[in-house]
Chain A
């Protein structure tokens, strides 16, 4: 079977056979980024005129922008013209049983403790009658619908709820925010849309895993979550299972809007392909995530566990616009081999009595480079604003790096901002203590690291937290000794 790259190459080398603007039947667009491609994507998705215009505005902004140079890692060369910006969702090859799955993948599933049926679903094995994911999902969908919760793909939302999408799309991350957000605005493939109506507490954790039309939405996802007055939602993104993906550049955008007294909890576990030992290959995870606490007493909480990707470069942010609003950021980032993470958060205190809390735990092993970069800004109106930031770094081995670059800007005398950072390694005495009690060094490290990251892992929904703990141990396997 030919892989998709060969197909892309073939198409790219082909003579311009059919004017692709009219050829709606085509599955993969030729590589390259231009206005025609954007019109093509928009037409293919049967989008309304206003959305196409918005995409084109994003493209115009993209054309004017340069790649940033302030990041703490050498920027890989990205050829935006070599990427194909549209591919119809691919059907994965259905396997008959788990015996056909890569044994290495199965071993990882085993360690993560993923239930057998989920394992099958994740690795593309046809699901048997006992565990019918579709029926589970359908039950969930019914329940959500009853409560008025909208949870669907972005494309569907554009068709069914254009007013909501039109009102909030780009209101938190504008089309010209940064070069990757602009690119996403121009070519975004699909994504999720969530709307929680007034006064509704979403009864379950929403996760793309249970979204019926959760297809391979690929590298330019766009997520928009709106929590109306007095509502609550917890959203999960990603999963602990290793994700193999052909696309190298991922430039997703996530926008969260919390209105009066609403709360959004957004959890991410990311375990994408990190490249091999020499840092070859691997995914560039350049995501723009931002939430706005628009209403009074609203709350947005980001939790992330980042173990994969060759380069993780993102700053999930919160704009605390309403009075008494709250923002939180909990992060664990693990790098090993030649992985790079430059991540952190930005919190803008605009309203009175706004509070924020940042807990970042970086773990560097091998030749990994881990950077926390964060901004806490207190505006002149933000009376009694309160921030607490703690970023700790753990170094395993003497060839890795751990860096902290916080920016603190305070313009209000009644605000209290605190920041503290520490860097340390795992003490030999700690390891010795555990060795003495019959725990081998590798397990001891896993134990210590999990204890170190507990404050963040505790923020994850329960089942997720258990998996994330195991994931941390697995990620660090072989990096000690």
Chain B
């Protein structure tokens, strides 16, 4: 499954992408189906409604990508910069999507399985949930991932299992030439189990470009709880298209915190939640702090299928330099989903003449006994706040930094791990003061 293919990716796509999946692969049929699906969906262009603000075809054509690369050797010291100070945690290190047990520190707790996805294909959880999420079916990049993924992480928290420390997943990308990488993950949290996951990445590919098309499926069974932190920083020369598809059963609680920070050139996050059981709670929090020529596109979808679910979404953006930010938040409340509470908010600070913001908060509601709202703002610091600080002897720059921090506070404050919260606050400060 890890052939080096030397034809450029785009050309390969056009030619139909045959011959990558060996017939003996257990997923051969699934992959062939996905490939057919991808071909019929086609690559999105600017006329595709969901991609109207992100020119993905241009990005794909910029470099001749090769498909999948064997991981190059990585040492512990190369992974070290990803560490979060003072954070007691387990660690799973993945190099180009392949789990490296010798670099990892995995929990040895009964009822908790953390393994390579390729080794999990006989697990009941894998059979029940792999590629089953309803929102992935019409996503071309998800189909492409299913068809051609190399490997990824499989995490299963069995019934009542508690992950006592957060699991830090470090994605390492190491390449010798421009490559298109496709990691694939599956996280299953069984009834009454709970845990926290922190994802971050390290780029070891000087001068070459990594295009990462990753898909994660997250299943929360009844009364399960998961904190999911996604830190998108420290990888230069990279483009990311991610799909995170969450399925929640009754009484489950899911907290997603996304931090899109400087470095990556292009980030497109597709975050979608299907609420299949009642009385669930869903928090989606995001902070986008972007500089230079960065383009970040957050595409979220909350699908309220059943009654009595609560979802809460707050995305904030700080845009510097020539940065570009896109936000699309869709809430769909089905006819049966009475007593839904769904709230969504997107606030943005434009701090540069050349920055760009596009936003599409969407409500689609077919039930009457619901409370739904969305809000959007874009603007500047209020002159009054700035004046207040300056009149108390705080310099212009320091005052601005303080205000950006205050703006981001709503998001960082929701981080429930103190060491991580401290780390993120410092990171934000670092980027803002540098500008």
Q: List the one stretch of B113-121, B346-354, B393-401 in contact with chain A.
A: B346-354
A415 proximal to B (CB < 8 A): yes
CA distance A398 to B336 in the complex (A): 9
Q: Which of B356, B362, B365 contacts A411 (CB 8 A)?
A: B356
A interface SS class: strand
Interface string of A410-430 (1 = CB under 8 A from B): 111111111111111100000
CA distance in complex: A409, B52 (Å):
12
- Chain B residues with Cβ below 8 Å from A406 are 359-362, 376
Of A255-263, A281-289, A389-397, the stretch lying at the interface with chain B is A389-397
Instruction: Return A67 CB to nearest CB of chain B, in Å.
Output: 15
The smallest C-beta distance from B302 to any residue of chain A, in angstroms, reads: 14
Residues of A within 8 A of B379 (CB): 415-418
Closest to B351 in A: A413
Minimum CB–CB distance for B87 against chain A, Å: 36
Measured in the bound complex, the distance between the Cα atoms of B364 and A440 in whole Å is: 31
Q: How far is the CA of A411 from the CA of B352 in the complex (A)?
A: 10
| Candidates B351, B357, B363, B368; contact of A398 at CB < 8 Å | B368
Contact B365 A422, beta carbon cutoff 8 Å:
no
Task: List 30 A–B pairs whose Cβ atoms lie within 8 Å, in order of A's numbering.
Answer: A395-B365, A398-B368, A400-B368, A401-B365, A403-B363, A403-B364, A403-B365, A404-B374, A406-B359, A406-B361, A406-B376, A407-B360, A408-B378, A409-B358, A409-B359, A410-B350, A411-B356, A412-B350, A413-B351, A413-B355, A415-B379, A416-B377, A416-B378, A418-B375, A418-B379, A423-B370, A423-B371, A424-B370, A425-B369, A425-B370
A394 nearest in chain B by CB position: B368
Q: What residues of chain A lie closer than 8 Å to B370, measured between beta carbons?
A: 395, 423-425
**B216-241 interface mask toward A, CB cutoff 8 Å, 1 = contact, 0 = none?**
00000000000000000000000000
Complex CA distance for A413 and B335, rounded to whole angstroms: 40
For residue A70, CB closer than 8 A to chain B, the reply is yes
Which residues of A lie under 8 Å from residue B374 when comparing CB positions? 404, 419-421
- Is the CB of B28 closer than 8 A to any CB of chain A? no
> Is there contact, CB below 8 Å, between A397 and B378?
no
A380 to B350 CA separation, bound complex (whole angstroms): 12
B338 at interface (Cβ–Cβ under 8 A)?
Answer: yes
Instruction: Give the contacting residue for B335; candidates A398, A412, A414, A424; CB below 8 A.
Output: A398
Band of interface residues on B: 20 to 34
A402 at the interface (CB under 8 A from B): yes
**A410 CA to B360 CA, complexed, in Å:** 12
- Is the beta-carbon distance between A418 and B380 smaller than 8 angstroms? no
Shortest distance between the CB of A382 and any CB in chain B (Å): 12
Q: Is A399 interfacial (CB-CB < 8 Å)?
A: yes
Q: Is A405 an interface residue (CB 8 A)?
A: yes
Q: How many Å lie between the Cα of A415 and that of B377 in the bound state?
A: 10
**A-side interface residues, number (CB < 8 Å):** 34
Give the distance to chain B from A442, nearest Cβ to Cβ, in Å. 17
Closest 3 pairs between A and B when the two form their complex, measured CB to CB: A395-B368, A419-B376, A416-B379
- The CA of A66 and the CA of B20, in the complex, are separated in Å by 39
Residues of A that sit less than 8 Å from B by CB: 70, 380, 393, 395-425
B345 nearest in chain A by CB position: A420
Whether A423 pairs with B372 at a CB distance below 8 angstroms is yes
B368→A408 contact, CB < 8 A = no
Residues from chain B with Cβ under 8 Å of A404 in the complex: 361-363, 374
Supposing A70-B49, A398-B335 touch, asked if A414 and B380 sit within 8 A by C-beta, the answer is yes
A402 partner residues in chain B, CB cutoff 8 A: 363, 365
- Residues of chain B with a CB closer than 8 A to A425's CB: 368-370
Q: Please report the C-alpha to C-alpha distance between residue A191 and residue B362 in the assembled complex, in whole angstroms.
A: 36
Specify the chain A residue showing the minimal Cβ separation from B333: A423
Minimum CB–CB distance for A199 against chain B, Å: 37
**Chain A residues within an 8 Å CB radius of B369:** 398, 425
Whether B162 is near chain A, meaning CB under 8 Å from some CB there, is no
Known: A398-B338, A403-B364, A409-B358. A416 touches B373 (CB 8 A): no
Please name all residues of chain B whose beta carbon is closer than 8 Å to the beta carbon of A400 when the two chains form the complex: 366, 368
- Assess the A421–B361 pair: CB atoms within 8 A: yes
- Besides A401-B365, A406-B376, A425-B370, 15 other CB < 8 A contacts? A70-B49, A395-B367, A395-B368, A398-B368, A398-B369, A404-B363, A407-B359, A408-B359, A414-B380, A416-B378, A416-B380, A419-B375, A420-B375, A423-B370, A423-B373
Contact in complex: B378, A410 (CB < 8 Å): yes
B358 CB to closest chain A CB, in angstroms? 5
CB distance from B346 to the nearest CB of A (A): 9
Q: Which residues of A contact B366 (CB under 8 A)?
A: 400-401
Do A408 and B380 have beta carbons less than 8 Å apart? no
A406 to B367, CA, bound (A): 20
Closest to A386 in B: B379
Chain B residues lying within 8 Å of A412, measured Cβ to Cβ, are 350, 353
For the complex, what is the distance from the CA of A126 to the CA of B335, rounded to whole Å? 51
| Also in contact, A422 and B380, with CB within 8 A (given A407-B358, A410-B357) | no
Q: Decide: B358 and A408 in contact? CB cutoff 8 A.
A: yes
Q: If the complex has contacts A422-B372, A422-B373, are A413 and B363 also in contact, measured as CB distance less than 8 A?
A: no
> Which residues from A are CB-within-8-Å of B351?
413
Enumerate chain A residues within 8 angstroms of B377, measured Cβ to Cβ. 416-419
- The smallest beta-carbon distance between A386 and chain B, in angstroms, is 9
| Nearest CB of chain B from residue A241's CB, rounded to whole Å | 30
Q: Which residue of B lies closest to A401 (CB)?
A: B366
Q: How far is the CB of A192 from chain B (nearest CB, A)?
A: 36
Cross-chain contact B350 with A413 (CB below 8 angstroms):
yes
CB distance from B354 to the nearest CB of A (A): 8
User: Do B378 and A401 touch across chains, with their CB atoms under 8 A apart?
Assistant: no
